[in-house]
Amino acid sequence: MHTDTAFTRRLGLPWPIVQGPFGGGLSSVSLVSAVNAAGGLGSFGVHHLHADQIMQVTRDLRAATAAPFALNLWIPLHDEAEHPVISDTQWDRAVRRLQPFFDELKLDLPARPKPSAVWPAYTQQIEALLEARPAVFSFVFGIPSPAILSRCQQLGIVTIGAATTPHEARLLEDAGVDMVVATGSDAGGHRVSFTDTPENLLTGTFSLIPQVRDAVRIPVIAAGGIADTRGVKAAMALGADAVQIGTAFLACEESNAGRPHQAALHAPGLPGTTLTRGFSGRLSRGLRNRLTIELAQAPEDILPYPWQNWLTGVLKRAAIAQDRADLMSLWSGQAVGLVRHQRVADLMQSLTGESPNRPDIHFVGHPTTRDYPTDITRQASLR
Ligand SMILES: Cc1cc2nc3c(=O)[nH]c(=O)nc-3n(C[C@H](O)[C@H](O)[C@H](O)COP(=O)(O)O)c2cc1C
């Protein structure tokens, strides 16, 4: 019975399945509550929200679901200032590069915003998150301070960090983080590395899982390129205690991805995915489209995060309204060709192979290290 993993035991969930958090407004209360209702862990990305908005989302989530859910934040990267300084010349060049698209959408060119409009204050976000006290705090791009982690421990909040290498996984474990998401480069959204430039850390999911499994004792959640039951079984056979799935949930109608984005994820004859800094200023994976192709021509005109993210966000709102998938960020992982389901209930049923109410059918999972002390000895010697 391998739904009985270190992950499901800790969180008291029927299935070792996490709906990956989506930042930038693509998470939704109905997505989280539908995943929770089907026995998975729903997650809500709040990195783009201010403190009062985080509190409101938490109230909305609690009104919609009694099950545990995760709130997710981005940790400020230590190698970037919180508000990277850009010159007016840089801003003008970036806007000029996108001007043909603004013109096509009949949009005025935006004025340069204040930093506070593009980047909510992390310290206030953290305070709000601790006050909201979700069952799970998941995060990417680093490790929260020891003080924050110890407050999570006092409050009984389970912490889940993301690693793109075994080394990052060990750093998270050594800091006292409870679980680690081993995030392969197949994954949709941002490459969440925090120890080196992400272009240097592109290990794929199915190479990464067993390396992270060997490197740490805490539960490992596999993310990237998993979209059906074969991927779930493969990840667990390689040592994962759970899986985190993004793209396949984003394609469900309960998510907050706009109509053109969801249609693109379901489209036959997809253009495939690419890694680009064009959408946001940070390296991320999405579907190739005019925007990624155009911005690849002039990487020097891409602003650092969060400026580029804000700029393409203006374009995106108009592109959604005008049904123009060619002019917006279409975040997606490499398993997009496996997207089949429009509804969370159907996706969860196909992932698990059964309704969670039927106890007789279970995943073929991998025993956790807790069940195998010899593995623990071996892993300890690797550290
Ligand atoms: C649109 C989009 C936004 C995402 N935003 C976040 C985020 O804010 N925080 C986070 O931890 N992961 C984020 N992710 C990563 C997902 O939670 C998940 O780990 C990833 O999508 C798994 O890979 P897959 O897309 O191949 O299933 C995002 C992914 C996508 C596609």
Q: CB of 18 closer than 6 A to ligand 1?
A: no
Residue 355 is predicted with a pLDDT of: 54
Please say if the pLDDT value at position 375 is more than 50: no
Q: CB of 278 closer than 6 A to ligand 1?
A: no
Residue 63 is predicted with a pLDDT of: 98
Q: CB of 23 closer than 6 A to ligand 1?
A: yes
Residue 97 CA to ligand 1 centre (angstroms): 27
Please say if the pLDDT value at position 237 is more than 90: yes
Please say if the pLDDT value at position 356 is more than 60: no
Residue 81 is predicted with a pLDDT of: 56
Least confident of 23-37, 318-332, 367-381: 367-381
| pLDDT one-digit tens code per residue, 111-167 | 999 887 778 889 999 999 999 999 999 999 999 999 999 999 999 999 999 999 999
Contacts of 352 (CB under 8 A, 6+ apart): 15, 17, 39, 229, 232, 363
- pLDDT, average across residues 307-335: 95
Distance between CA atoms of residues 44 and 169, nearest Å: 22
Residue 369 is predicted with a pLDDT of: 29
DSSP string, 194-258: -SS-GGG----HHHHHHHHHHH-SS-EEEESS--SHHHHHHHHHTT-SEEEE-HHHHTSTTS---
Looking at the DSSP assignment, which residues form a beta bridge with residue 287?
Answer: 273
Residue 313 is predicted with a pLDDT of: 95
Give the CATH fold of the 6-82+120-256+335-382 domain.
TIM Barrel (3.20.20)
Q: Please name the residue that has the structure tokens 């249609």.
A: 263
Q: CB–CB of 252/31 below 8 Å?
A: yes
Please say if the pLDDT value at position 376 is more than 50: no
What is the pLDDT of the chain when averaged over all its residues? 90
Q: CB of 46 closer than 6 A to ligand 1?
A: no
Q: CB–CB of 315/107 below 8 Å?
A: yes
Q: Please name the residue that has the structure tokens 């270190």.
A: 6
Residue 84 is predicted with a pLDDT of: 80
Residue 47 CA, closest ligand 1 atom number: 8
Q: CB–CB of 187/225 below 8 Å?
A: yes
Please say if the pLDDT value at position 269 is more than 70: yes
Distance between CA atoms of residues 322 and 328, nearest Å: 11
Q: CB of 184 closer than 6 A to ligand 1?
A: no
Please say if the pLDDT value at position 171 is more than 70: yes
Please say if the pLDDT value at position 294 is more than 50: yes
Residue 82 is predicted with a pLDDT of: 61
Please say if the pLDDT value at position 1 is more than 70: no
Residue 80 is predicted with a pLDDT of: 56
Residue 108 is predicted with a pLDDT of: 95
Q: What is the phi/psi pair of residue 218, to 5°? A: -70, 160
Residue 354 is predicted with a pLDDT of: 62
Q: CB–CB of 383/215 below 8 Å?
A: yes
**Best residue for ligand 1 mutational test, from 17, 18, 19, 22 (most atoms within 8 Å of Cβ):** 22
Distance between CA atoms of residues 237 and 231, nearest Å: 10
Please say if the pLDDT value at position 206 is more than 70: yes
Residue 373 CA to ligand 1 centre (angstroms): 33
Please say if the pLDDT value at position 360 is more than 60: no
Q: CB of 262 closer than 6 A to ligand 1?
A: no
Q: CB of 45 closer than 6 A to ligand 1?
A: yes
Q: CB of 251 closer than 6 A to ligand 1?
A: no
Segments making up each domain of the chain, as ranges:
6-82+120-256+335-382
Please say if the pLDDT value at position 72 is more than 70: yes
Residue 302 is predicted with a pLDDT of: 96
* Residue 382: band (very low, low, confident or very high) from pLDDT cuts 50, 70, 90: very low
| pLDDT one-digit tens code per residue, 77-90 | 864 556 788 999 99
Of 380 and 261, the structure prediction assigns the larger pLDDT to: 261
Please say if the pLDDT value at position 257 is more than 80: yes
Whose CA is closest to 333, among 139, 189, 221? Answer: 189
Residue 36 CA to ligand 1 centre (angstroms): 18
Residue 380 is predicted with a pLDDT of: 28
Q: Please name the residue that has the structure tokens 């064009």.
A: 278
SS3 34: helix
